[in-house]
Structure 1
Amino acid sequence: MRKPLNRDTLQTLHHPASEPLSRPSYARANLIPGVVHLGLGAFHRAHQAMVFDTLMQRGDRRWGVLGVAMHSTQVADDLATQDGLYSVQINDYKGRTWAVVGSVLHTCVTAREREKVVAALASPATRWVTLTVTEKGYGPELADLLVEGFAARRAADAGAITVASCDNLNDNGRKLQALCVDHAQQVDDSLAEWIHTRCFFPNSMVDRIVPAATTERLHEAAEALGVTDRCALGTEGFWEWVIENHFADPSDAAVLAGVGVKVVTEVHPFEQAKLCMLNGSHSALACIGAVMGLTTISDCVAKPNIRAYVHALITKEIMLGLARPHIADYRDALIARFANPTLKHSVHQIATDNSLKIPQRWPPSIKAQLSRGGEVDHLALAAAAWMRYCLGEDEQGKAYVLKDPNSAELQATALLHRHDACAAVKAFLGMHAIWGNELPNDAIWTSRVTHWLQRVQAIGLGQAIAELSGS
């Protein structure tokens, strides 16, 4: 029976000669967290926590993390039994490497240990709060927690703090700031003013493909490292963190830039490119893959017609008008990342909560194209694929579960109109929470979605994609 990964087994790890391993070189036992992270999921642990680990490897011990799960206890408790240590398998064109990450010093769960979280937010040692809580919008529960913590921080005279939203939301720092200030005003105007002046909320954009942890990944970690790691993750070599130069400690800009973070005056061009190009095409591929019975994104991109489709989707309809620097290089890197077969990124994982994600990912590109008189056929086919996806069964008749808060309405609509594209499009586009108020009344958009849903119903999604690609 293998021993668990923890501080006692850290130095005994073995690994294949062809798969290099990095591990913390710094003593962790007496470190005090300088970062409170809310949302202890896979993405944070394979992204920001690894950036902080790099800083700590370089001798800056201020970036240790208190990892806070909001409700679920499993990851927090599993990490606690491993002294916060976990492994990340990194796969890219150069091969496979492993990293054991040591920046997560302690964990807790807000629903179980709220006082501990509030105390950490109030601690003078805490310099940063980071969040990967949701891409569906912030709510009162989060505001309650942060404002309580900031009130305690003000009472303790613990100083200014950087609060960095890393959630997949446009203008995320300003949205979080407005939430906290507005909530504080309901309690104490002077607290609201303190938050406004002493809490710094930079906008940021984070990018890395991090599939959900699987049993297979845990087995691979055990085989490679010789220990049991219940928190093992896999990811790609690519990562990007773009953050606005707006920090409580201005010297943090140079510190972060020194380890590869892009510190900029304006995040929006990067943010829009990621939301529309990566997330938008990801959602399209996820719907296509699910309907066609494909398992992963790399399975989709391995098919020449689908690869040509997603390249054209981005090039002809999404990236026009976006202002990210070197945008064609970013597109090419995206498609190469999608094709990485080692990530095993499930189409159904990406398709989760589609009705909440699509409003951010597709309508901006659709409206921009319509306003300039450009084509929208690739976006229309994506919308048709989503409508077909809502049936809850692939083209081979295999059922799957729609993981969406509106799943009952979506599936009922798809089933009711499964043979009537005109009625289906009218019903789906009538969901204004998804499409807004303009697109349902746009004759060109409606006609192109209807056309492609008719073709999908008549000849199947794969053939419709080939027809659009002219192959």
Structure 2
Amino acid sequence: MLNTQSLPSLAARGISAPGYARGGPVGVVHLGLGAFHRAHQALVFDALLRRGNARWGVLGVAMRSTALADALAAQDGLYAVQVANAAGVHWQLSGALWQTCVAAREPSQVVRALAAPSTRWVTLTVTEKGYGPALAGLLVQGLAARQAVGLGGLTLASCDNLAHNGRKLQALCIEAALAQSPALAHWIAATCAFPNSMVDRIVPAATAERLAAAAQALGVADQAALGTEAFWEWVIERRFVDADDADTLAAVGVTVVDDVGPFEEAKLRLLNGSHTAMACIGAVAGLPVISECIAQPAIHQFIHGLMTVEVGPQLSRPDWARYRDALLARFANPELRHRVHQIATDSSQKIPQRWTPSVLGALRTGQPVERLAFAAAAWMRYLRGSDEQGQGYAIHDPMAEQLQAQALALAHAGDAAATVQALGTLSAIWGEALPQEARWLARITHWLDQITQLGMLAALAQLNTHLTPTLETP
């Protein structure tokens, strides 16, 4: 098993061990000990530690699940990451996780860590749906303990796919603190920093094949091994308790800016929006992973057109066309094996951020929405819970029971218009304005009808043929 004792044997295999002392007081408490954090922020902290900055050791907190936290504890927090791009594949070892625990099992340990003098930062990847009273209560309890012993505030950086995530986290914490003590709320507002941030790296869920590849590469078993791509971005607002953190982070590749908004918006609408569209299309067509989706000429043409014509021109990120091209290359990476059903999870909570703003923006300016309407139709077809080969799959979504019941009942009736009227007017997903847009609903109805009659890829080919003359590359 991979652990501290196995480190000397890794050098012979070309894998460099962390060259720094591990296990001292942690500087970062991370909430949400999943694959994304371990292949993204934890590697940034590992790079800082390798540069001799010992203040960035991490306590990784799983919110509920015990299996991963315990597996990492058995490995002394060590795990390997397989990084793949067009140039090849290599493995790197992360040593930034010095401790792990589970918030639901060991809440007092989390509070003690938040209140520890060595702690400087809190980072969070708890998913979009995790920003609620339980999270706020845990954070405020730790911050109250800091205030009680006279310590300063923390930098709390949300790394979830939420627009204005820092501000939302700040509002959540202050609201919870106000219910406890106005003085505590004032202290949090005055001493803590809540920077907005945008993170970008594709990290598929771990698989048995990945674990087997890790064992072969390392010569020991690694139950927490991951795979990811070479590309990564962390764009963070210049808003820290310690102003020197800006230069420290920039030195290892983090982009520190005054306004994260343009990068945040581009990531949500270009990367995440395209991902959700491909996930629905691929799930229905029986294509299991994103690289197989984008390898289909019809899907590649569709996604390129979606980003180029309907989404990109609305963005204020100055290099959005370069970012689009990088995304197309990243989607095609066959090593990632990013499963469409993983991406389609919680789609009712993702669509309001990933598609709805683009649709509204295009409608306001008279721009095309045909590809976005097709994506919406693909989602409605996906909700039926079976692909075009008759293979069933589960819908993992907070609204799954309601959405699937409506999709199936109306599909059996063969009424695309009724399906769109039921699913396309849900204000929780589409907001208040879009359900009133007859043009938008009509185009979804058209494409849902075509998908049902022709099949997903044939309908997509028809759309591409219809729209080819409008496709222009900036």
Taking structure 2 as the reference length, what is the TM-score of the superposition?
0.97
Measured after TM superposition, the shift of residue 249 of structure 1 is: 0.2
1:151 is aligned to 2:148? no
Task: Provide the aligned length of Structure 1 versus Structure 2.
Answer: 464
Secondary structure (helix, strand or coil) at the match of 1:470 reads: helix
Among candidates 16, 21, 38, match of residue 27 of structure 1? 21
Give 1:330's aligned residue.
323
Report if the CA contact (8 A) 1:137-1:169 is conserved.
Answer: no
Q: Percent identity?
A: 59
Give 2:277's aligned residue.
284
Give 2:470's aligned residue.
none
Secondary structure (helix, strand or coil) at the match of 2:391 reads: coil
Instruction: Name the stretch that deviates more: 20-29 or 166-175.
Output: 20-29
Report if the CA contact (8 A) 1:15-1:224 is conserved.
Answer: no
Distance 1:294 1:137 in 2: 30
Secondary structure (helix, strand or coil) at the match of 1:21 reads: coil
Secondary structure (helix, strand or coil) at the match of 1:234 reads: strand
1:67 is aligned to 2:60? yes
Among candidates 397, 400, 404, match of residue 397 of structure 2? 404
For residues 68-101 of structure 1, what are the alpha-carbon distances to aligned partners after superposition, in whole Å with 9 as ceiling and x for unaligned? Answer: 1111111110000000000000001111111110
Measured after TM superposition, the shift of residue 454 of structure 1 is: 1.1
For residues 143-175 of structure 1, what are the alpha-carbon distances to aligned partners after superposition, in whole Å with 9 as ceiling and x for unaligned? Answer: 110010000001121212101111110000000
Distance 2:372 2:305 in 1: 10
1:5 is aligned to 2:2? yes
Distance 1:129 1:148 in 2: 14
Partner letter of residue 297 of structure 1?
I
Give 1:218's aligned residue.
211
Distance 1:325 1:11 in 2: 46
Measured after TM superposition, the shift of residue 325 of structure 1 is: 2.1
Distance 2:296 2:15 in 1: 33
1:134 is aligned to 2:127? yes
Stretches of 4+ moved more than 4 A in 1?
Answer: none
Partner letter of residue 429 of structure 1?
G
Distance 1:274 1:52 in 2: 22
Partner letter of residue 296 of structure 2?
K
Taking structure 1 as the reference length, what is the TM-score of the superposition?
0.97
Measured after TM superposition, the shift of residue 27 of structure 1 is: 2.0
Distance 2:345 2:104 in 1: 24
Partner letter of residue 23 of structure 1?
A
For residues 238-260 of structure 1, what are the alpha-carbon distances to aligned partners after superposition, in whole Å with 9 as ceiling and x for unaligned? Answer: 00000000000000000000000
Give 1:42's aligned residue.
35
* Pairwise CA RMSD: 1.0
Distance 2:431 2:243 in 1: 39
- The 5 Å alignment of 1:269-280 reads 269-280=262-273
- The 5 Å alignment of 1:456-467 reads 456-467=451-462
Report if the CA contact (8 A) 2:427-2:435 is conserved.
Answer: yes
Among candidates 428, 431, 436, match of residue 433 of structure 1? 428
Secondary structure (helix, strand or coil) at the match of 2:453 reads: helix
Measured after TM superposition, the shift of residue 14 of structure 1 is: 6.1
Partner letter of residue 447 of structure 2?
W
Report if the CA contact (8 A) 2:143-2:153 is conserved.
Answer: no
Report if the CA contact (8 A) 1:244-1:263 is conserved.
Answer: yes
Give 1:165's aligned residue.
158
- The 5 Å alignment of 1:81-230 reads 81-136=74-129, 138-230=131-223
Measured after TM superposition, the shift of residue 15 of structure 1 is: 7.0
Partner letter of residue 392 of structure 2?
A
Report if the CA contact (8 A) 2:195-2:238 is conserved.
Answer: yes
Among candidates 53, 68, 78, match of residue 71 of structure 2? 78
Residue ranges of structure 2 left out of the alignment (5+ in a row): 467-474
Residue ranges of structure 1 left out of the alignment (5+ in a row): none
Partner letter of residue 251 of structure 1?
D
